[in-house]
Structure 1
Amino acid sequence: MLDNIAGPDDSAFTSPAALNDINNWVPHDIVMRDAWFPLAHSAAVGKKPVRRSVYSVPYFLWREDGKAVAASVLPGAGALPETGLTDAAGRYPVMEHYGYVWCWYGNPLAADPLHLPSIPYLPPNGGLPGYLTGTVRFDCAAPVSLENLIDLTHADFLHANVVGDEKSESETVEVFSDSETVTMVRTCIGKSVAPVMKFFSGIRQPTQQVRQVIRIYLRSHAAIAYGRFTPGDDVPLFHPCVPETRDRTRLDYTMNTSNAGLLFRHVMPKASYIVSRQDSSMTSPQSPRYMHESKRRDLHSKFDVAGQRYRLLMKNLVARQAAGDFSYRDNVSADCSDLIGLRKELFRY
C-alpha cells in the first residue's frame, strides 16, 4: 500500500502547464552559479596539485602551509584565463569542511560559508577513516544522476541484491521542498530485510522497519541519503554529483557507517561500487537522449512526484539566474537533522 506520495503545495508541480515545463527538460544545459562544490576529499589534496573541473572549468587544488587553495592555472603557469570566477591572483574561494575541499563556482565576492549545505552526520572537521570514502564516475549529466537518485523506489528493483526487494506491508512517501532543496522521505513497515544486512549485520528476522531519505541541494548538485533500518544499522551517505562536464559526473562519496557493527561498517561503503555500476547502466544510455529531438513522450506516474519537483525547481532556479538573480532565498546550511530523522546520539561531533 502506498500513501501520501505528495507533499504540501503540489498543485504548483502537477498542473498541465507545470508538467509541460517539466517535460521540456535538457539537463545538459544546466549551469548553477554561486554554489559550493565538494571537489575532493581532504585527504586527496596535498602539496602536489591535483586537477578537478566544474562545467569544464579547470580547478587546480593543493596545499600551502597545510591550507587548501585552488587556482585556475598551475602555479607559475603564466597568463590567467578571464573567467570572472577568481580573484586577481587567479584563486578561487575555498572552504574545507566535512572532510572535503569545497570550491566556489560563481562570483568570488558572493562566496559565503552560509551557503554550504548541511550534512549533519559528517564531522565538521573531517577525519573519518579512508575506508568510508571512495570515488566513482557516471557518464551522464549530473542532474540525470540526481533525478535517478531521488526516486527511492528505484532501489527495490535496481539494487535489490543490496538493499532488498519491493515487498513491504505498507509504504508512505512524502516530498518536501523549498527554492534550494528537495527531499523525499520513504517509510516502509514490514519490508524485506536488505541482503547486505542479513549477511553482514546478522539479522535473522524476515522483515524490518525502514525509513529512507534523499535530500538534494540543487545548486551544489549534492545529495545526502540517510537510511534507518530497525533492526539494523543506519546508512548515512553523502552523494555529491560534481558536474565535471555536461555529460560527465564525479562522485567523491562518504558513507559514515563508523557506528555500525564491525563487518557492516567496512563492507557497506564498498557496496557503492556495485550500486554505482547498476545506476550507470540506466543513466548512461538515458543521458544523451535529452540532447536530441524525439517524438517519444516523457511520461510520468504518481510515483514520480519527487523527480518532477526536482526538475521544475532546477528549471526555476536556472531561470532566476538567467535573469540575474543569484540570491539564496532559503538557508541551505540550516540543520536538517530532524527532517532526515537523524539519530543524533550516534553522530555527536
Structure 2
Amino acid sequence: MFITNGWYCAAFASEMGAPFARRILGQPVLLVRDASGAPHAMGDRCPHRFAPLHKGSVIDDRIECPYHGLQFGMDGRCVHNPHGDGRIPGAAKVPVYPVVERDGLIWIWMGHPEAADPSSLPDLHLIDRSSRPIVGGHIMMDVDYRLVLDNLTDLSHAAYIHAGTLSPSRAKRESTNEATSHSVAVHTVMRGVPTPSSQALYFDQPVGDYHSDIEWIAPGIVRQQLAMTACGEDADAGAVTRNVHLITPATATSTHYFWMHTRNRLMDDRSIDEQTVAIITNAFTTEDEPMMAACQDYMGGKAFFSLKPLYLATDFAGTRCRRIVEGLIAAENGEGGHADADAMTDEIA
C-alpha cells in the first residue's frame, strides 16, 4: 500500500545523533549519525532474536545489539559475534537505506537503492531564512497517509474545520487545477474576505484577498504558499507564507506529518514563531486528525473507491492524487504503469 521508490522525510536533521527508531512504510528503521556526523539509516530489528537495535550501544561506529551483543557496522553487516568461536553467519545483516541530508531534513529511500537519485529531490520553495532556525514540527497521526493527502490537497474543508483561524469562514473560492503524472496543484483565491487569525499575525488589514496555492509531489511532499493581500493585489505583493507538509507513512493506519513554515514579514519575531506553532499544532491535532480518524473509522477498513465516494468539483486534486498513488504502487508491483492522467478522475466524475 506504499510507494517505496521515492524520497520520504525521515526526521529533522536536528533530531539525528544517538540511535533512535522510527517506523517508516511499516518497517522499523534505526537512524543515527556516525563519528564524522554523516547520517545513516538501517533496519532496527536484529536478525538473531529480533531485538530493537536502537536500544543498544554505539561502539566505534558499530551498533551493538542490547540482547546478545552482536555488533553491526553502518553498512548493515555484522562485524562482531561475541559467542562461541566468533563465526559470523552469512545472514547476519540488516537492510540499509540511502539517506540524504538537505534543507534541515533527513530524507530516506526505502525502495531499490540503485534508483535513489538525490537530484530528484525537489526544491521546497521556502522563503530564505538565512541561518535562523525554520519554524516546524513533527506530529504522529493515527490515520492512513492517504487521508492526510486528501486533507491537504482539498483545502475547501478549511472554511469549515478551520473557519476563522486558518481560513476565512465559508468563503467563495475561485480555483484552478493542474496535474502531471507525479503531481497535482490547486490555485485558489478568496476575494474580499475577513483576515483569518493565522494571517493577522503579519497582515494588519481586517479584510483582503486570500491566496492559496498547494502542490503535492509524489510520494509525500506538499508545497504550499499562502498570501493575504489588499483587495485586487497580486499574491506576491502581500504577506506571504511558504510552508511544506511532508507526509511519511508509518504503518497502514499511522502517519508521520512533518511541517515547516517560513514568511516574508516579521521574520525575526519569535513570539510569532510561537503563535504559529500553537496554531498549526492545534489545527492538526484537535481539528484535522479527529475528523480524519472519524472518516477512517466509518470506512470500516474498506478501500476508498470501493465505497463509491461522491465526486464534487473540489475533489479533483484529492482524487487525482489517489489515482497517481495507486498507479505508482501498481507499477512497482509489476502491474503496469498508472492510468492516463485525464482518465483518472473522469472515471468517477
TM, length-normalised to structure 2:
0.74
Identify the match of residue 196 of structure 1 among 185, 188, 198. 198
Q: Structure 1 pair 322/233, CA: closer, same or farther in 2 (3 Å)?
A: same
Q: Deviations 1:36-77 (Å, cap 9, x if unpaired)?
A: 11110010101x111112122121111111111111133133
SS in 2 for 1:161: coil
Q: Deviations 1:99-147 (Å, cap 9, x if unpaired)?
A: 10111110111110122132121669x95426x1212121111111111
SS in 2 for 1:270: helix
Identify the match of residue 264 of structure 1 among 272, 280, 289. 272
| Aligned residue in 2 for 1:71 | 42
Q: Deviations 1:236-269 (Å, cap 9, x if unpaired)?
A: 2211111111100111211123743524344223
Q: Does 1:58 align with 2:67?
A: no
Q: 1:233 touches 1:260 (CA, 8 Å); kept in 2?
A: no
d(CA) in 2 for partners of 1:51 and 1:150? 29
Q: Does 1:284 align with 2:254?
A: no
d(CA) in 1 for partners of 2:106 and 2:170? 40
2:162 is aligned with what amino acid?
A: H
Structure 1: gaps of 5 or more residues: 1-29, 82-87, 328-349
d(CA) in 1 for partners of 2:142 and 2:133? 28
Q: Does 1:114 align with 2:119?
A: yes
d(CA) in 1 for partners of 2:141 and 2:196? 25
Q: 2:145 touches 2:253 (CA, 8 Å); kept in 1?
A: yes
Over the aligned positions, Cα root-mean-square deviation in angstroms equals 3.0
Instruction: Say which one has the larger Rg.
Output: 2
Q: Structure 1 pair 105/158, CA: closer, same or farther in 2 (3 Å)?
A: same
| Aligned residue in 1 for 2:244 | 238
Q: 2:202 touches 2:265 (CA, 8 Å); kept in 1?
A: no
Q: Does 1:133 align with 2:170?
A: no
Query: Shift in Å at residue 32 of structure 1?
Result: 0.3
Q: Does 1:100 align with 2:70?
A: no
Q: 1:259 touches 1:265 (CA, 8 Å); kept in 2?
A: no
| Aligned residue in 1 for 2:159 | 156
d(CA) in 1 for partners of 2:117 and 2:279? 35
Q: Deviations 1:257-296 (Å, cap 9, x if unpaired)?
A: 3743524344223311111021011101212415148996
**Comparing 238-247 with 221-230, which one deviates more in the overlay?**
221-230
TM, length-normalised to structure 1:
0.74
| Aligned residue in 1 for 2:345 | none
Identify the match of residue 302 of structure 1 among 313, 326, 330. 313
| Aligned residue in 2 for 1:223 | 222
d(CA) in 1 for partners of 2:131 and 2:210? 29
Identify which of structures 1 and 2 has the higher relative contact order when contacts are C-alpha pairs closer than 8 Å and 6+ apart: 1
Identical columns (%)? 20
d(CA) in 1 for partners of 2:335 and 2:115? 13
**Comparing 36-45 with 304-313, which one deviates more in the overlay?**
304-313
Q: 2:99 touches 2:109 (CA, 8 Å); kept in 1?
A: yes
Residues matched between the structures, number: 287
